[in-house]
Structure 1
Amino acid sequence: MMQDQNVLELDIQNPDNINSEFSTHNSFEAAHEKDSKHSKSVEKNQKIYSVNDSKKFEDILLRHIEKMNEKTITRNQLLTQHKQTLLQLFGLGATTKEVLTFLKENHFTGISEENLKEFLKKKK
């Protein structure tokens, strides 16, 4: 249906063609040549993206939104938030040095032995 409308539009644009059966092919080629010239200039100035590129773009933007929405917390809030786990570790006999060593081995820095000792004093 849409193609028929396009053919009719092309026939109307090209009044020299009297027989529509044969004229649709000629007028379609002429229109296609005009479109291809236009699309070549678009390709020179713009990159053409695939549907997959569009999905990747959206994923990147969504991750950026998540990053912007991330809340930051202080060291004390972090310790308080994981109070039960820390107390469980210390209850099993872990020392502050052992906990710090394990954190550093797992690339987590910013907590000092003094921070852990203060935390333990407050929680007891």
Structure 2
Amino acid sequence: MSTRRKIPAPEANPETAAYWQAAASGKLVIRECGHCGKLHHYPRALCPFCFKPATGWREVSGRGKIYAYSVMRRAETPYAIAYVTLEEGVTMLTNLIDCDFDGLQIGQAVKLVFQESEGGPLVPMFSPV
């Protein structure tokens, strides 16, 4: 198992405040466009597909698969970053925790977990199922 590294507290802004509030409640939310119906992540008010300001929040399953990953072994505390594609189709940049870095594989199933940040909100991350 990997040792957890310290996560700096993310700063909320008006576009991401609801995202961090949901994370504090143990939920992962992403934006859904009310105009074109597409989901997107990182949270932003304008849809990146149709550029309409008609986005709202949608809770997602927290299940996905590793699309790509990289292990940072030269860091003080080694860690793994990854693109995870959620069951809902959105791909998000995240960290992989509670896992054997040598056992990670593209396409591997992962589930949502939350890690505390240093003096800030819980941060959504993923670990192998």
TM-score, normalised with respect to structure 2: 0.20
For the pair shown, the structure with the greater C-alpha radius of gyration is 1
Structure with the bigger percentage of strand? 2
TM-score, normalised with respect to structure 1: 0.20
Q: Which has the higher contact order (CA 8 A, sep 6+)?
A: 2
Structure with the bigger percentage of helix? 1
